[in-house]
Chains A and B, each alone.
Chain A
């Protein structure tokens, strides 16, 4: 592979739930599609996520959350990104997120919410189309 531009993605789990099956499957699929995936694992606070995203200069933040705390934690990440002038970073999320919450999350600035059953190829395509 030539060292051209590579898409860098931060995969993190905000909140306290330990279900990382989805996050890890996604991380692996993104790697296999040629991206660099920074994986920080469980129990990440919004502050940690945003600071990590900045230092790692990622194009995308992918947040997996199944604890039900999405309405609090996801908008918080967006807000912190704005405070750090880093709102150009694409934020996507996945997990158990009810349909009725998705609209609100998108209004808050989450680019897309992928619910259970989404093929990884769809997520890869989404990232490739939306990262300039």
Chain B
């Protein structure tokens, strides 16, 4: 950026400063720690200057917003045009209760829906399955069949809202249900906008709600890519997720590296299935976490954007600029919330949400203060949403694009995170790609090492968590936590019984038979799953049929 002479002068001045001013103060007052690190263990110097980013080339490395390599953002004017989508993840109990919560959120100014499913639904079990005992409706809404889905979106016009669904292993089934509900509302698939998470690889790595082994799972995913590229042009077919990887203990670098490595695996799978890259890549979306280290997080988002753009252009020869744009949803970090002094979590969430906005997120979920204790209450959800609204309307950070660009520290961190993430991706390539690396437990092991180190740092006091290992107080147990009605399980079981006695069981049997035989071929399974859903096969019946053909995934231990 600058010429050699002025850099040389700067270097000399900096050395002088270090040896006089800085040393003098250090002799008098030693620093709090011998060395300083970001939240993700990148060493931090006392001050950053142009010397730290001397190779930075504005046009090549940053560029203008909306232009390759998209470091500064995917749209030319970012939030000056349209704010991010405020999308609170919600769902619990029965479809009726969740439907009420969605209507509440929409009435409070939320701009998109985000559906949380309960664990049996996520793992493809009906509510009456033995493993579902105690789980029905707990962490999300219970969906057993199209009947529940009809209730869930009752009175919500699906051509007007965009809906994000956190569903992975059985994503094809839930997407089919959504299409079927829309059809009943008179909305065609090509009018639907939203996202399914559909990211199985991070389930093996970090989140644990998998069903089938990697290879049939990857097939289901590419089936969806293909189906949507033809029928649902506005639908995000996958949300490649670093969120859960980070929650499992990964560092910011690992979050970027492993997420993009998974992304590479999906792109390769789709290309191998015969799709051309620009056919599906514009509909890929990402999902990241936002933790407390504000500046590191901002740099992380920028680094991820730049790295993905380069990968798509240089590795996959994408031509469509949209294929190179990393668009992402952000959720604030659940694992950073503390059960102690839960109101402190409001401040944590604020910092994290600010990081996401300064990092150029396309949509945002802010966690509620009570989520280390239970599902969020309505009051807590409102504060969380208000946090976003205050950042959007009062903080001023939205008025210009990528306001932290050019900060020596931010650009240094952006470079460092990109470089370290690239090193990981190279290593994963050497192991044979993300799927192989996961089967070998490589990512899992790296994440667990980070998680363990983090925990030990807290226990040694090197890392302070306010209210947990410092500034503790005696506390009364919190009040007003949300309780899920324990009867939900029973209600769902009754509904299932009624459904099974009222539907056309012959059609159900036929449809499942067809699914079974098609699963054995290499046909695209979306049409037949849609058929099953429409004649009210249950989620469990569909997934069991596929289990018979595909088998089930068993995790290996990595500790």
Taking Cβ atoms with an 8 Å cutoff, the residues of A that contact B are 15-21, 24-25, 27-29, 31, 39, 41-43, 45, 67-69, 71-73, 96, 98-100, 115-117, 119-121
Contacts and interface: CB of A to CB of B under 8 A. Distances in A.
Interface size, B (range): 35 or more
Given A20-B208, A98-B373, 14 more contacts: A16-B123, A28-B452, A28-B559, A29-B455, A43-B123, A45-B130, A45-B131, A67-B119, A67-B138, A69-B135, A71-B134, A117-B465, A119-B469, A120-B459
Interface in B111-152: 119-120, 122-123, 125, 130-135, 138-139
Contact of A72 (B134, B207, B452): B134
B372 A116 contact: yes
B139 A68 contact: yes
A16 B494 CA distance: 22
Interface in B450-487: 451-452, 455, 458-459, 465, 468-469, 477-478, 481, 484, 486
B468 A121 contact: no
A119 B139 contact: no
A96 B135 contact: no
A41 B557 CA distance: 8
B547 to A, nearest CB: 14
Contacts of A39: 557, 559
B549 interface: no
Given A16-B209, A21-B247, A71-B134, A115 B339 contact: yes
Contacts, number: 110
B335 interface: yes
A29 B372 CA distance: 22
B338 A117 contact: yes
B338 A116 contact: yes
B340 A117 contact: yes
A24 B459 contact: no
Contacts of B247: 19, 21
A61 to B, nearest CB: 17
A17 B119 contact: yes
A96 B372 contact: yes
Contacts of A28: 448, 452, 559
B459 A21 contact: no
A98 B209 contact: no
Given A28-B559, A39-B559, A96-B374, A16 B120 contact: yes
B203 interface: yes
Given A43-B131, A69-B138, A21 B451 contact: yes
Nearest to A100: B477
Interface in B365-384: 372-375
B127 to A, nearest CB: 12
Nearest to A25: B455
A98 B134 contact: no
A45 to B, nearest CB: 7
Contacts of B335: 21
B161 interface: no
12 contacts: A16-B123, A17-B139, A19-B247, A19-B248, A25-B451, A28-B559, A39-B557, A43-B131, A67-B119, A67-B138, A71-B486, A98-B478
Interface in B189-227: 203, 206-210
A60 to B, nearest CB: 17
Contacts of B374: 68, 96, 98
Given A42-B208, A67-B119, A21 B559 contact: no
A120 B209 CA distance: 26
**Interface of chain B, main secondary structure:** loop
A120 B338 contact: no
Nearest to A65: B134
A16 B555 contact: no
Contacts of A20: 208, 248
B455 A42 contact: no
Interface string B308-328: 000000000000000000000
A16 B465 contact: no
A41 B338 contact: no
Contacts of B206: 18
A31 B557 CA distance: 15
Nearest to A37: B559
B461 to A, nearest CB: 10
Given A41-B557, A98-B374, A120-B459, A18 B133 contact: no
Nearest to B458: A119
Nearest to A20: B208
Contacts of B448: 21, 24-25, 28
B360 interface: no
Contact of A98 (B208, B469, B481): B481
B559 A24 contact: yes
B478 A41 contact: no
Nearest to B120: A16
Given A18-B208, A68-B484, A98-B481, A73 B459 contact: no
B468 A117 contact: yes
Contacts of A68: 135, 138-139, 374-375, 484
Contacts of B459: 119-121
A16 B131 contact: yes
B242 interface: no
B249 interface: yes
B452 to A, nearest CB: 5
B411 to A, nearest CB: 32
B203 A18 contact: yes
B465 to A, nearest CB: 7
Closest 8 CB pairs of A and B: A18-B208, A72-B134, A69-B134, A99-B477, A68-B138, A16-B119, A117-B468, A69-B135
Contacts of B452: 24-25, 28-29
A15 B339 CA distance: 22
B343 to A, nearest CB: 15
Given A68-B484, A73-B134, A120 B455 contact: yes
Nearest to A26: B455
A117 B478 CA distance: 16
Contacts of A99: 373, 477-478
A123 to B, nearest CB: 11
